A and B are shown apart, each in its own frame.
Chain A
């Protein structure tokens, strides 16, 4: 484990739309140690992918607010200009595997060239050298290097996914963001990709931020879990704590709605839908769906309470004297 690789403090990303300001990421903070994986879980529309984009600074045009601190190896990279960030951070220190990655490959470029691109663009490596590296990385992720000379349509879904992982790793980043890295893959292929990600992590000491809506899948990689709801982290805990004993009512409900293949348990669901991020409910954003909602929850935003060392819950139920 060791020291902190990435520290995020008070990160905000709001989008300006015609209907109003969308508070997609609203005051998010966490630490990520070297070799550690943070899983970010929650329903769709709770800001998970926006959080990823805010960290790697791949932003749409309609950004309204983008502020906070992103401290990478002791340096606040939020202070860098876009150009400096692109040159010295993006892809070389933080990289990302996108959602639906199989479709993020360019259909008219050879696979090897696309894997090599980060080296040429972000590290200025000569083409021949970069292509040789691409073959090496392709082999490392378990695809025969001859596929470097093929086009994406000639690869199966699982192979494309591996190629995209090679692309994210080739510039040797310390932090890799995995945004639903196995969506649209079959379960056996998914398990194979998870095995690959585990092996790479333990060999390289990489840190992952693993974004998924699938709680069961999150436990494949997570050392630590952050539960997001309506743009905020409502619970942050170590994996051993979280999967056995979630504390926030939302996290508990989410866990109860996970179908289990092996254990006999009754399935539950969370009535209602996540709130609009334009006009989130006052107080605690989960209160309209919370079975324990009290008066204070409707009026005041809950504090972050450390219920145990390293286990933080943003909920009035755990506040002293609350």
Chain B
């Protein structure tokens, strides 16, 4: 991590109430439960987890699209956990979001031009002519050229890949310093994915934006981020530099995740993969202690009773597991 942190998240939780009926007391779903991390200026981090691990909730809570249940979010030295009104508008301008489903994320009755101009209008940027120039430049940046051909089209006239480029242009048009991209390519064709991710990475580096790239696909993360966070059942269980995490995963869950992913290899068909049975726990009634213990091959007594601490095993490599705790 170079330089000062742009974003610091302390013990952040987001719980949802799940109603079961008129009279029954609501249940609590702990989607994000006590998460800590820092993000440096211009740094890209991948947040990896299975569906239901809380990664999207974490992304949206950090952007203040969900109200945090507890904890603190500090952005540019300023506590943004409780901002509202004008100051929240400032935070909105400083941040951006690219969503998973580009079709759902675009109003179908607006042209691409209007979609891109909207954030500029909301934040009162420039005159009409200046905005026009900015919109065209944004389209050029995401290589939707010739821009005149794309600017006046409606979302349904574009392919998924083209639409996701528009979504990226929209997220970047206000030049935010922090962007969350939530599974930006999972709905796109395999051959287009690399193209979109490469484009995102180029813009992120060129503009010096900090990025959280949320994905369930560990194999692409190494190419697009400096660090990887692994999430399981509402907790971040491991944080490490990308290459180190893939080469030397420490948390038993990270190890399982990496074991589960094949590379194209004709030998694969001759062997079984060493993966734990079962599926992630319910977040309404998570297991006590470490949430991975029911599936963990190394589970000890303490894992069943007490939540594991976060241990910095090496500089910049943190793991939430009793196996690495001193004593």
Contact A186-B264, Cβ < 8 Å, known A254-B191, A259-B220, A261-B222: no
B258 near A261 with CB under 8 A, answer: yes
A221 is an interface residue with CB less than 8 A from chain B = yes
B269 near A260 with CB under 8 A, answer: no
A43 near B190 with CB under 8 A, answer: yes
Chain A nearest CB, measured from B271 CB (Å) = 8
Instruction: Find B262's partner among A44, A157, A216 (CB 8 Å cutoff).
Output: A216
Chain A residue contacts of B275, Cβ below 8 A: 188, 191-192, 195
A188 near B257 with CB under 8 A, answer: yes
* A190–B268 CA distance with the chains assembled, in angstroms: 14
B279 near A216 with CB under 8 A, answer: no
- Nearest B residue to A198 by beta-carbon distance? B272
| Residue in B191, B259, B263 with the greatest tally of chain A CB atoms within 10 Å | B191
B219 near A199 with CB under 8 A, answer: no
* A128–B198 CA distance with the chains assembled, in angstroms: 57
A158 is an interface residue with CB less than 8 A from chain B = yes
A217 is an interface residue with CB less than 8 A from chain B = yes
A243 near B266 with CB under 8 A, answer: yes
For chain A, residues 136 to 194, give those with C-beta under 8 angstroms from any C-beta of chain B. 156-158, 186-192, 194
- Nearest A residue to B259 by beta-carbon distance? A191
For chain A, residues 262 to 289, give those with C-beta under 8 angstroms from any C-beta of chain B. 262-263, 267-271, 273
For chain B, residues 246 to 279, give those with C-beta under 8 angstroms from any C-beta of chain A. 246, 256-266, 268-269, 272-273, 275-277, 279
B279 near A220 with CB under 8 A, answer: no
What string of 1s and 0s marks CB contacts (under 8 Å) between B191-221 and chain A? 1111100100000000000000000111110
Contact A188-B246, Cβ < 8 Å, known A219-B266, A243-B265, A260-B219: no
A257 near B194 with CB under 8 A, answer: yes
B223 is an interface residue with CB less than 8 A from chain A = yes
Chain B residue contacts of A218, Cβ below 8 A: 264
Chain B residue contacts of A189, Cβ below 8 A: 279
Chain A nearest CB, measured from B260 CB (Å) = 4
B159 is an interface residue with CB less than 8 A from chain A = yes
Chain A residue contacts of B265, Cβ below 8 A: 219, 243
B220 near A269 with CB under 8 A, answer: no
Chain B nearest CB, measured from A159 CB (Å) = 8
B260 near A239 with CB under 8 A, answer: no
B306 is an interface residue with CB less than 8 A from chain A = no
| Residue in B51, B159, B259, B272 with the greatest tally of chain A CB atoms within 10 Å | B272
A3 is an interface residue with CB less than 8 A from chain B = no
A259 near B264 with CB under 8 A, answer: no
* A254–B112 CA distance with the chains assembled, in angstroms: 31
- Nearest B residue to A238 by beta-carbon distance? B266
A222 is an interface residue with CB less than 8 A from chain B = yes
Chain A residue contacts of B277, Cβ below 8 A: 192
* A94–B260 CA distance with the chains assembled, in angstroms: 29
Chain A residue contacts of B94, Cβ below 8 A: none
* A162–B257 CA distance with the chains assembled, in angstroms: 20
- Nearest A residue to B53 by beta-carbon distance? A186
A216 near B219 with CB under 8 A, answer: yes
Chain B residue contacts of A211, Cβ below 8 A: none
B189 is an interface residue with CB less than 8 A from chain A = yes
* A220–B260 CA distance with the chains assembled, in angstroms: 11
A267 near B223 with CB under 8 A, answer: yes
A43 near B189 with CB under 8 A, answer: yes
* A191–B271 CA distance with the chains assembled, in angstroms: 11
What string of 1s and 0s marks CB contacts (under 8 Å) between A199-220 and chain B? 1000000000000011111111
Instruction: Find A186's partner among B50, B219, B220, B222 (CB 8 Å cutoff).
Output: B50
Contact A223-B50, Cβ < 8 Å, known A188-B260, A259-B194: no
Chain A residue contacts of B256, Cβ below 8 A: 188
* A195–B275 CA distance with the chains assembled, in angstroms: 9
Chain B nearest CB, measured from A241 CB (Å) = 8
* A198–B191 CA distance with the chains assembled, in angstroms: 28
Contact A215-B259, Cβ < 8 Å, known A188-B275, A221-B269, A269-B195: no
* A218–B260 CA distance with the chains assembled, in angstroms: 14
Contact A220-B262, Cβ < 8 Å, known A188-B256, A269-B198: yes
Chain A nearest CB, measured from B279 CB (Å) = 5
- Nearest A residue to B256 by beta-carbon distance? A188
* A116–B265 CA distance with the chains assembled, in angstroms: 37
Chain A nearest CB, measured from B163 CB (Å) = 14
A220 near B269 with CB under 8 A, answer: yes
User: Nearest 8 CB-CB pairs, A to B?
Assistant: A191-B260, A186-B50, A239-B266, A269-B194, A269-B195, A191-B275, A191-B273, A259-B219
11 more A-B residue pairs beyond the given contacts A243-B264, A263-B263, with a C-beta to C-beta distance below 8 A: A186-B50, A187-B216, A198-B269, A219-B269, A220-B262, A239-B269, A240-B266, A242-B266, A257-B191, A261-B258, A268-B194
Residues on B facing A (Cβ under 8 Å):
50-51, 159, 189-195, 198, 216-220, 222-223, 246, 256-266, 268-269, 272-273, 275-277, 279-280
The 18 listed contacts between A and B (C-beta, < 8 Å) are: A156-B279, A157-B279, A158-B279, A186-B50, A187-B260, A188-B275, A189-B279, A198-B272, A213-B189, A220-B268, A221-B269, A222-B266, A239-B269, A254-B191, A259-B194, A259-B219, A259-B222, A259-B223
